[in-house]
Amino acid sequence: MSIEELFFNNNAKTAINVAQARGVILITARIHKIPTYEYTPLQVKQAVTGYGRADKIQVQRMVKMILNEEKLPKLDDITDSMAIGICHAHSAKFAQKL
């Protein structure tokens, strides 16, 4: 399982909610002995676009192109999770497990 490391700028309430959800996900993975890999937003952007400071639109366009999709889901969170999966697939951590 791959997951993005927590990052937030200003909205502490959102960060707390995300941190709580992340905690449940990580604990559940641990209980079920699912290997977990974490990536920073910069690592995800670098893996998908080749540029660690890419904006959301650039990431979305590359996800669409890499996955050969005509269009992407409307929710940004779904596209973000696809980008994390692409990052993991390109990761040396994953390649070492094959």
Per residue in 52-97, pLDDT (tens digit) is 999 999 999 999 999 999 998 888 889 999 999 999 998 866 666 6
> Can you list the alpha helix ranges (DSSP code H) found in the chain?
12-31, 41-49, 56-66, 76-90, 92-97
Q: How many domains does the chain have?
A: 1
pLDDT at 1 > cutoff 70:
yes
- The CATH number of residue 76's host domain is 3.30.420.10
Which percentage of the chain shows pLDDT scores above 90?
A: 69
Cβ-based neighbours of 37, under 8 Å, separated by 6 or more: 1, 2, 3, 88, 91, 93, 94
Element (H, E) at 38: strand 37-39
Query: Please, what is the average pLDDT of the chain?
Result: 89
Question: Domain range spanning residue 66?
Answer: 2-97
Structure token pair of residue 51: 């540029």
Residue 92 DSSP SS3? helix
The bridge status of strand 37-39 relative to strand 2-4 is: parallel
